Amino acid sequence: MWGAAKPSGPQEDTRRASAARQAERVERTVGSHTTLIGAPGAGPRGTALQVEGASHVIVRLDGLRLSRRLSRSRR
């Protein structure tokens, strides 16, 4: 069956390294007890805020778009 084996080899190693470098540049982790405040039109551009496992996070950025993965009950 096609796709049963996990990808491996130099091309896969390069892909993983590239994905890790990209994540370093575009993902920002937000810790617990954090407040992010921005002026109108301000906000993260070309990046993702990771708020997993954090509590008491306040985000007040005009025009911030939430990920579809974030449920309404958690906003």
Q: What is the pLDDT of residues 20-70, one digit of tens each?
A: 888 877 777 888 999 888 777 776 677 777 788 889 988 887 766 665 555
Closest by Cα among 74, 61, 72 to 28: 61
Cα angle value 19/21/22 (rounded, 5°): 65
| pLDDT for residue 72 | 45
pTM to 2 decimal places: 0.48
- Collect all residues with Cβ–Cβ distance below 8 Å to 49 and sequence separation of at least 6: 28, 30, 36, 59
Q: Provide the pLDDT confidence category of residue 15 given band limits of 50, 70 and 90.
A: very high
Distance CA 11, CA 4 (A): 18
| pLDDT for residue 68 | 57
